[in-house]
């Protein structure tokens, strides 16, 4: 395996134009980006710079206009989608972690985490068992039988991370995952993402404005007007 980035995330020359003619917006302009398996990178940029557009393209939520994307060793886009089932791609290859945990209020913690596994065709007992293993790794197994409304904000976010990991995706896309948290909880979430990335060899992109966590990234991509450039970060806390 000479080229590790082929198994993580590789984006080459990715462009996205919204609309056409005079009102067209070039939200991404030939973006290049790589994230190795086990690596957590930050994606930082001002409002309107293209962060959400990049995550949505990677997450197969919107169609790019041109370029290439490889996720977990599979070329998924090459001036057009290369795979027939985008829903299966989202379910099996990508874990999403959002600012709001979006837990299902009428399912307990275990079932919230197990649900994506069940939807991927695994039996309920096995899915629940895997959910509990992840909840244990994330130090929230003692809340396995609780309902989401009974959890603290930090616990809810850890459950959401467990849910994002339950199908063992090669890629996690995290959009402002620490925004609602105080600094102790924010650092805990970032530590967990780093630990999980290492343990499961997941490639993680964290979009953030959160000054508290920016120093934790070893590599940071800045984005401005749809153009990215890379900076070596400090990686202080987790280096």
Kindly list the residues in this chain that would bind ligand ATP in the complex (CB under 6 A).
18-19, 25, 27, 45, 47-53
- CB neighbours of 179 closer than 8 A, spacing ≥ 6? 99, 208, 209, 210
- CB neighbours of 178 closer than 8 A, spacing ≥ 6? 157, 185, 186, 189, 190, 208, 210, 212, 213
In the complex, the smallest distance separating the C-beta of residue 56 from ligand ATP, rounded to whole angstroms, is 7
Closest alpha carbon to 53 in 80, 24, 29, 88: 29
In the complex, the smallest distance separating the C-beta of residue 139 from ligand ATP, rounded to whole angstroms, is 31
- CB neighbours of 18 closer than 8 A, spacing ≥ 6? 24, 25, 27
In the complex, the smallest distance separating the C-beta of residue 151 from ligand ATP, rounded to whole angstroms, is 27
Contact (CB, 8 A) for 170 and 72: yes
In the complex, the smallest distance separating the C-beta of residue 205 from ligand ATP, rounded to whole angstroms, is 13
In the complex, the smallest distance separating the C-beta of residue 213 from ligand ATP, rounded to whole angstroms, is 16
Q: Which is nearer to ligand ATP, 20 or 149 (CB)?
A: 20
Neighbours of 28 (CB within 10 A): 27
Residues in the chain: 239
In the complex, the smallest distance separating the C-beta of residue 231 from ligand ATP, rounded to whole angstroms, is 17
Contact (CB, 8 A) for 181 and 103: no
Q: Which is nearer to ligand ATP, 61 or 86 (CB)?
A: 61
Q: Which is nearer to ligand ATP, 46 or 123 (CB)?
A: 46
- CB neighbours of 234 closer than 8 A, spacing ≥ 6? 215, 216, 217, 218
Q: Which is nearer to ligand ATP, 13 or 235 (CB)?
A: 13
In the complex, the smallest distance separating the C-beta of residue 48 from ligand ATP, rounded to whole angstroms, is 4
Q: Which is nearer to ligand ATP, 18 or 229 (CB)?
A: 18
Q: Which is nearer to ligand ATP, 50 or 116 (CB)?
A: 50
Q: Which is nearer to ligand ATP, 60 or 114 (CB)?
A: 60
- CB neighbours of 133 closer than 8 A, spacing ≥ 6? none
Closest alpha carbon to 159 in 104, 83, 197, 199: 104
Question: Is the C-alpha dihedral spanning 83, 85, 89, 92 positive or negative?
Answer: negative
């Amino acid at each position: 395996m000479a080229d590790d980035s082929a198994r993580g995330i590789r984006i080459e020359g990715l462009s996205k134009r919204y609309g056409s003619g005079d009102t067209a917006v070039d939200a991404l302009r030939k973006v290049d980006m790589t994230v190795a398996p086990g690596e957590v990178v930050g994606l930082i940029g001002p409002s309107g710079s293209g962060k959400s557009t990049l995550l949505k393209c990677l997450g197969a939520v919107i169609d790019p206009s041109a370029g290439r994307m490889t996720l977990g060793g599979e070329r998924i886009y090459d001036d057009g989608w290369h795979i027939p089932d985008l829903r299966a791609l989202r379910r099996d290859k990508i874990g999403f972690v959002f600012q709001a945990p979006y837990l299902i209020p009428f399912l307990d913690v275990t079932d919230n985490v197990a649900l994506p596994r069940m939807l991927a065709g695994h039996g309920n007992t096995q899915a629940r068992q895997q959910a509990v293993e992840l909840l244990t790794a994330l130090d929230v197994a003692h809340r396995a039988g609780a309902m989401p409304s009974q959890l603290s904000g930090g616990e809810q976010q850890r459950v959401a991370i467990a849910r994002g990991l339950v199908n063992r995706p090669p890629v996690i896309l995290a959009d402002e995952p620490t925004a609602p948290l105080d600094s102790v909880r924010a650092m805990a979430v970032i530590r967990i993402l780093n630990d999980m990335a290492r343990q499961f060899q997941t490639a993680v992109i964290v979009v953030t404005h959160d000054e508290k966590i920016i120093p934790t990234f070893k590599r940071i991509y800045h984005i401005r007007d749809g153009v990215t450039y890379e900076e070596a970060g400090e990686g202080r806390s987790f280096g």
